[in-house]
Amino acid sequence: MDLMLVLQLLLGGLQNGALYALTAAGFALIFGATKVFHVAHGAAFTLAGYVFIYAWNAGWHAAIGVAAALAIAVLFGIGMERFVYRPIQRHEGSFFTVFVAAFGVSIVVQNLVGMVAGRGFASVDSSLSQGVEVLPELFLAPVFWVAIGTAILLFAALTLFLSRTHAGVALRALAQNPDLLRAYGLSSSRLSILAFALGSALVAPPAVLMAMTTGLNEAIGNHVMLLSMAATMVGGIGSLRGAAVAGVLLGVAESLVLLVLDTQWAEAASFLVLFGFILFRPTGLFGVVAAK
């Protein structure tokens, strides 16, 4: 087996995995804290990516573009919680109603993005995504280090936030026992908004980096959502750490599978991993068995 090919595929997989991990962690954070199956998480990704592309094409500084992407993702997440999920939960709140509403919003966003930004491929032309030969037959783009660095930094910050701040601890408490939280006089609705804001903010960096690397189209949210769900299940429902590790695992799996299988199987590898977990470890990597 060609060692350089193994290394190339591994590094490529780590880069993609870091981006999947951030997206999946956002979904897991929202689901873990609020129990809302936020299918429109992919729409936040799409919006963030397209806002960054718009800012880039308008000649704005990249940092402003990233801030704008972050802002739109957070606003979208809060808007979903405030104007879609909360009214539904106030009346009926069944899983299916929430799912269909979120799915509908995703389709609306997809079509709006298509109408406003044009249908088809969109990307930004950045030297960050252009690979250079660092070793014979090993190409690495600067975006690799940006992706890995961003993921490590954000996970470290998130871990600190969830373990060292009152709001973070309350968010974890909301995930475990919302009734007890209310008994202590804390507002579950405010914490719910915080969960949506944080979870949605986590899609902005991968959306920006994907706009540079693979490019976007208005339907990319569906793909992102599928991967986020797969990573959340593989990592263990509700486990932030699990979703992050699973995201990396899926990214590496879909890349390394090309060592032994045809390129056709790259995407399927993620779902083979998912099926494997469903069959042999249904609780996922870090999930716990719920008592019945």
The residues of the shown chain that bind other proteins, judged by CB under 8 A, are 2, 5, 8-9, 12-13, 15-16, 110-111, 114, 118-123, 125, 129-131, 133, 137, 139, 141, 213-215, 217-220, 223, 254-255, 258, 262-264, 266-268
Between 199 and 251, name the residue whose CB sits nearer to other proteins: 251
**Cα 263 to Cα 267: distance, rounded to the nearest angstrom:** 9
**Cα 118 to Cα 206: distance, rounded to the nearest angstrom:** 21
CB of 287 to other proteins, least distance (A): 27
Between 74 and 124, name the residue whose CB sits nearer to other proteins: 124
Q: Is 288 exposed, middle or buried (0-12, 13-18, 19+ CB in 10 A)?
A: exposed
CB of 56 to other proteins, least distance (A): 13
List CB contacts of 233: < 8 A, sequence separation 6 or more.
Answer: 246, 274, 277, 278, 284
Which tokens belong to 279?
Answer: 């069959």
CB of 39 to other proteins, least distance (A): 17
Between 68 and 124, name the residue whose CB sits nearer to other proteins: 124
Residue 138's SS3 state is: strand
CB of 52 to other proteins, least distance (A): 16
Between 92 and 137, name the residue whose CB sits nearer to other proteins: 137
The values of phi and psi at residue 37, to 5°, are: -80, 90
CB of 219 to other proteins, least distance (A): 5
